[in-house]
Amino acid sequence: MPAKTRNPFSRPRVRGPDDLDPLRAEPVNDRDLIGRVLAGDARAEREMYDAHVDRVFRLVYRMVGDTHRAQDYTQEAFIRGFRRLADFRGDSALSTWLCAIAVSVTLNGLRSMKRTREREVGLEEAPSVGTRSVEADPDLKTRLASAIDGLPDGYRTVFVMHDVEGYTHEEIASTLGVQPGTSKAQLFRARARLREALADFARD
């Protein structure tokens, strides 16, 4: 078994006062827990689920904004996680690995949904998002939500993870399988797009 890397989630986090309790998972006994799950211990599966479900659900919900779909994707992430647990090499924290699966499941689900919607509505009739739709709505939060929805998947994922959920670039890189520099660049571009979309607020 390869040596485990430093747990990137073990240090204290500075969060806003209005944040929901994120219940950051602390993979203290990951190795022991994984061993028990792999040995077929159903209670260990429940323990692993309990330890990580809040974190996974939070992230998925932030990405999809719909309880039913967030529920579906979270379930699917755990089912896949349990099935593939034997492949977990311990290169990252278990929570990071589970979040990576959840992000993958979610992005695939969103793409699939987008394709379906495009087939149903037709590209030219699809509601515009981002800069085009914001002018009709004076509310910053609504316009921001619309602008975030309009970001490309990569930008949006990084923006949600960093600016909304408070992940570090190292955590994001580990979860998405990219370099921290890529995460920083994508966040920079995402913010630029959002600034552009909300420029009139700055003028006001």
Partner 1 sequence: MDDDPLDETIRAAAREYHRPPDPPREAMWQAVARERRLDRARRPAPRRWLPWAGAAAAAALVAIGVGIGRLSRSGESPPAPAVIAAGPSTAGPRVNETAYRLATTDHLERSEAFLTLFRASVRTGSQERLASATARELLATNRLLLDSPAAQGRRTRLLLEDLELVLAEIAQLRPDATAGDRELIREGLERGGMMSRLRTAVPAGTTPTRGDL
Q: Among 25, 30, 74, 96, indicate the residue that binds partner 1 (CB under 8 A).
A: 74
Question: What is the Cα–Cα distance from 176 to 45, expressed in whole angstroms?
Answer: 24
Are 134 and 198 in contact, with CB atoms under 8 Å apart?
A: yes
Interface map 5-34 toward partner 1 (x if CB under 8 A): -----------x-xxx--------------
Q: Among 105, 148, 161, 173, indicate the residue that binds partner 1 (CB under 8 A).
A: 148
Q: Which of residues 83 and 119 has its CB atom nearest to partner 1 in the complex? A: 83
Shortest approach of partner 1 to residue 100 CB, angstroms? 18
Q: Among 25, 34, 78, 97, indicate the residue that binds partner 1 (CB under 8 A).
A: 78
Which long-range contacts link 3-9 to residues 24+ away (Cβ below 8 Å)? 4/30, 4/31, 4/90, 4/91, 5/91, 5/92, 7/93, 8/92, 8/93, 8/96, 8/168, 8/170, 8/171, 8/174, 9/93, 9/95, 9/96, 9/171
Closest CA to 26 of 5, 55, 4, 1: 55
Name the one residue in this structure whose structure tokens are 């923006």. Answer: 159
Which region among 4-12, 68-76, 108-116, 120-128 touches partner 1 (by CB under 8 A)?
68-76
Where do contacts with partner 1 occur on this chain (CB under 8 A)? Answer: 16, 18-20, 40, 42-43, 45-46, 49-50, 53-54, 57-58, 61-65, 67, 70-71, 74-75, 78-79, 82-83, 140-141, 144-145, 148, 159-160, 163-164, 184, 187-188, 191, 194-195, 198-199, 201-202
